[in-house]
Amino acid sequence: MRQILVIGIGTGNPEHVTMQAVAALNGVDAVFVLDKGYDKAALVRIRRQICERYITARPYRFVEAPDPERDRAPADYPAAVDAWHEARADLYEAMIAGLGEDECGAFLVWGDPSLYDSTLRIIDRVAARERVAFTHRVIPGISSVQALAASHRIPLNRIGAPVHITTGRLVAEGLPAGADTVVVMLDGDPRFDHLDPDLTIHWGAYLGTADEILRAGRLGDVGDAIREARREARARHGWIMDTYLLRSPTRS
């Protein structure tokens, strides 16, 4: 039966790839990649570099397909995401169907497949259609949350305190009541004016890579500088992957 591997590859540094992932890669016949266009061509290039560096045991093919267009400002966000997932499921199904009956294909996922990534949900959707038979397995990876904490040399949580992980879309409505530490992902246009300026922020882009950018401090002091650094980095590279941690003022 066809086998699918969903492999976490970290945040852009080939050395984030785990030994488990390397072993898994050396059993694949095809690597599947969705091309997100010119601005994000580097994301495809990094996946190619990882394959070229680590797959040494056998020949493999690199299969690319254009990522479906997505409405970035929909009136109905859940419906728009569902439609996008359905379009992606069509592509995934075609890719998987292109495998031989006993072949193995892999999707290389930025960060970790379990955290704010749609790959596993879409594969479940394809499986539920029951039009192509396959099994699948997940190989975990280093997430941007872990990479952020490592680069800033901080623990994610205060002693005995929780960590809340959310998205920029939800932070736009304010932080959760009583939140001590909040990690924000997928924030395409960070705005901090509505947040407590006494929060501490740890921000990072291109984490773990040679292009890594880090900023930290009191939000009211460094918020504008972070937005400017982010704007300049996006203009220079054509894309940006960043995340940040917000922490309430030190408790007495």
Same domain, 11 and 123: yes
Same domain, 237 and 215: yes
Asked whether residue 252 is assigned to any structural domain, the reply reads: no
CB 57 within 8 A of CB 71: no
pLDDT of the residue at 173: 82
Pick from 162, 186, 190: which is nearest to 176 by CA?
A: 162
Q: Mapping DSSP to helix (H, G, I), strand (E, B) and coil, where does residue 127 land? A: helix
- The domain boundary, picked from 89, 116, 139, lies at 139
pLDDT of the residue at 95: 96
- The domain boundary, picked from 104, 139, 174, lies at 139
pLDDT of the residue at 5: 98
The CATH number assigned to the domain holding 18 equals 3.40.1010.10
For 107-152, what is each residue's pLDDT tens digit? Answer: 999 999 999 999 999 999 999 999 999 999 999 999 999 999 999 9
User: Residue 247: phi, psi to the nearest 5?
Assistant: -130, 135
CB 30 within 8 A of CB 105: yes
pLDDT of the residue at 87: 92
Q: How many domains does the chain have?
A: 2
CB 203 within 8 A of CB 219: no
Which amino acid does the sequence have at 229? A
Q: C-alpha angle with apex 158: 154 to 163, nearest 5 degrees?
A: 90
Which of the residues in the chain have pLDDT under 70? 36-40, 251-252
- The domain boundary, picked from 139, 174, 189, lies at 139
